[in-house]
Amino acid sequence: MNTRSRARNDSIGQDQNQTNSLSNYQTSLEKTSRAHATLRKEKRIQQNLVTNRNVAINRLNSEFTHVSTSSDAYSESSSSLTSSSDERSRFSSQAMVVILDPREYMFEDAKTILDEMLREARSGKFPKKKFTNNGKEYEYTAYLNFTRSISLTNTEQKKIFFTCIFCGVKTKGHLGATSNTLSHLERHKNVPDLMEWLNLYKSDLGSSEMPIDEFSIKLVKYFIASNSAIAELDSQHFRNLFSDSKHKIPSSRTFKDKLLPEVFNLLNKRIACNCNRHVPNEWKPLR
């Protein structure tokens, strides 16, 4: 009886030890889980604080820029102000822009990306950002390199969130129609190197002529003959009509600002050439 009783007591003691060990392990897991949750929460709060701070700085700089522009316009219209006071006002308005420290950029590699892009831009190169659409690789406008987004998609018309690498603000747009992202980057007066890059980028766009092919002329003829709104170029359903075509459909902004002027100049040259060809020699001015 004593042997059996001792064995039973040992078994009960082992079960209690196992139960206690399991309870301690579960308690440890719960504490670890709560600690990780607290760390994640603190990290989110810190990121939100940095994002809100950068947004506030951007808004502040935008207000200063607006005030500076209004002040300069008034100064030019007023004859009582001297040129020296204009210089002082410009200096003071520039001094009010709070420059964002590179260490405060939202992404750690933001400064590396900006330095590389600026070095390329100074040599006249503007590498585009690559995206994969239905297994094929495409390149899109260069300023998207200053954002974080998905790189794989199954349709060009899927709306994508682009996160600014400097402040973390998100903008939304389609591939090929990302003017919202560009507008946001233009507000970063607090990142001087980015402003320099944007100026070089716009100068390059202004100096480069858009190639005019037969498809471009047909596209212009369509909108003129059908009296359709060029906003259709941004419509997902309209662009899907050309999804299997080798031709790239321009956005409404590109169509209005670049394609139409180029076609207009081309037609003017052809008209002038045809007129000169049919004008009698006696009507032509002497050179």
Three-class SS of residue 83? helix
Residue 242 amino acid letter? F
The CA radius of gyration of the chain, in Å to the nearest whole number, is 32
Q: Give yes or no for residue 86 having a pLDDT over 70.
A: no
User: What pLDDT score was predicted for residue 164?
Assistant: 93
Higher pLDDT, 56 or 9: 56
The lowest-confidence range among 83-92, 127-136, 215-224 is 83-92
Flag whether pLDDT at 56 surpasses 50: yes
Q: Which residue has the tokens 């591939």?
A: 175
154/136: higher pLDDT:
136
List the alpha helices (DSSP H) in 156-229: 179-186, 192-207, 214-226
pLDDT digits (tens, 9 = 90+) for 197-218: 999 988 877 655 556 778 888 8
pLDDT category at 91 given cuts 50, 70, 90 is very low
Measure the CA–CA gap between 74 and 25, rounded to whole angstroms: 73
Is 43 in a helix, a strand, or coil? helix
Q: Are 181 and 143 in contact (CB under 8 A)?
A: yes
- The mean predicted confidence, pLDDT, of the chain is 76
Which string of b and e fits 27-36 if b means at least 16 CB within 10 Å?
Answer: eeeeeeeeee
Q: Which residue in this structure is represented by tokens 């899927």?
A: 158
- Beta-strand pair 170-173/152-153: unpaired
178 Cα distance to chain centroid = 7
Over 70: is that where the pLDDT of 31 sits?
Answer: yes
Across 226-248, average pLDDT: 83
pLDDT tier at 283, thresholds 50, 70, 90: low
* DSSP-derived secondary structure letter, 279: S
Measuring CA to CA, how many Å separate 248 from each of 156, 218, 245? 11, 13, 8
Q: Percent of the chain at pLDDT above 70?
A: 71
Cα separation values, 253 from 5, 178, 232, 243, Å: 91, 11, 11, 20
By residue count, the chain amounts to: 287
| Predicted local confidence at residue 152, as pLDDT | 76
C-alpha 172/C-alpha 160 separation (Å) is 6
Cβ-proximal residues to 193 (8 Å cutoff; 6+ apart), any chain:
114, 115, 118
In 10 A of CB 188, how many CB atoms?
23
- Note the pLDDT tens digit of each residue in 112-127: 999 999 999 998 888 8
Burial class for 154, CB neighbours closer than 10 Å (0-12, 13-18, 19+):
exposed
Average pLDDT over residues 125-145: 84
